[in-house]
């Protein structure tokens, strides 16, 4: 209830007595009244009273305008990359497999 009162325009709340009075004058059920007056209502003999009902013509209290930034995509031609054709093969010098045999050994039971 607090949320409804906080978010509802006070001018619309003040129109509730007009709503109740017009509902009492209406010859039909509450559901028929709501459908006739709030579902694409057409002009009739009591049009002026209908326009005074709450939430028929609510005032614009807050208007939010959002605009997405303009995006521009450009595709650039890739730069030419020159790779030198140095055919050098890596050769390990001073490599001894004895060094690895000292590090990697099978587990031992003591």
CB contact at 8 A, 58 and 8: no
* Residue 53 CB coordination number (10 Å): 19
CB contact at 8 A, 58 and 10: no
Percent of the chain whose pLDDT exceeds 70: 71
Q: Does residue 85 have a pLDDT over 80?
A: no
Tokens of 10: 């006070």
CA distance 86 to 79: 21
CB contact at 8 A, 50 and 39: no
Report pTM.
0.46
């Amino acid at each position: 209830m607090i949320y409804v009162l906080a978010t509802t325009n006070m001018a619309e709340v003040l129109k509730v007595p007009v709503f109740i009075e017009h509902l009492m004058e209406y010859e039909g059920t509450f559901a028929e009244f709501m459908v006739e007056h709030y579902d694409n209502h057409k002009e009739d003999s009591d049009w002026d009273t209908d326009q005074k009902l709450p939430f028929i013509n609510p005032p614009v209290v807050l208007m939010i305008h959002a605009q997405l930034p303009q995006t521009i995509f450009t595709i650039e031609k890739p730069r030419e990359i020159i790779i030198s054709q140095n055919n050098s093969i890596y050769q390990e010098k001073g490599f001894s497999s004895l060094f690895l045999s000292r590090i990697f050994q099978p587990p031992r039971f003591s």
